[in-house]
Amino acid sequence: MTESDGKPHQGSAAPDGDPEYADRVYRSVPGAISGVLLLAVAAWLIGDAVFSGSGKTPYVALAAVPVFAFPVIAYTLRPVVRADRRRLVVRNPWRTITAPWASVDALRAGYSVELLAGEKKYQVWAVPVSMRQRKRATRAQSRGNAEHASRTGLGLGLASRTNPVVHGSSDPTRAWSDQVTDVLQQMAERNASHADAAGPVVVRWCWWVIAPTLVGLVALITVIAV
């Protein structure tokens, strides 16, 4: 998991006089790492099939490249959330949702993080929910850990080692996804009244991922069938 610091730019200010903050950027680092590893393993296997295979094997391997690579990129490397004072941009595997703050009804974290905007609901892929982190946060907030922190003077230092801490979060002991959701909800409430935060929700499909995947699938079926 990662994020930008979101600290004010030196000497800059928004049109209404509020300090101008850098974009907040959130994505799953474990997801990105797993995507890179999957692509590396696939490249090795496909390369071996192309140079060492016989018959239709090299052609099947080449046709399988876009069918495998683009979905892996879509689900592991592409998802990201960007937020500034005007809008929230949620980049999911197959589409990008741009929601001005005035159109955001709520953000909530259940079994997944969801964006409610424009009378519709969108999943936020870049901020996966970890039940393990939630259990860890519960233990950190229990009486035993609280008394231990009090005795040893660890305070928030204990919390910071329990779960990743999100800049601007009011409770660093919570799971990373819950902290991110809380920060984004606060941004929505704070920025919704700004004049430049109005407008409709815009959803765009990611055709540079979808089209090659479909073309590759057709090619793969054709090579196998011939």
pLDDT per residue as tens digits for the range 113-167: 999 998 899 999 999 998 888 888 888 777 555 555 555 444 444 444 567 788 8
Which pLDDT score is estimated for 145? 56
Closest CA to 200 of 120, 126, 123, 127: 120
The DSSP call for residue 22 is: P
Q: Is the pTM of this model over 0.85?
A: no
What's the average model confidence in pLDDT over 188-217? 95
d(C-alpha 206, C-alpha 92), whole Å: 9
Structure-block tokens of residue 88? 């929230």
Q: How far apart are CA 1 and CA 3, in angstroms?
A: 7
**Contacts with 173 (C-beta within 8 Å, 6 or more apart), sequence order:** 137, 140, 141, 159, 162, 163
pLDDT tens profile 80-123:
999 999 999 999 999 999 999 999 999 999 999 999 998 899 99
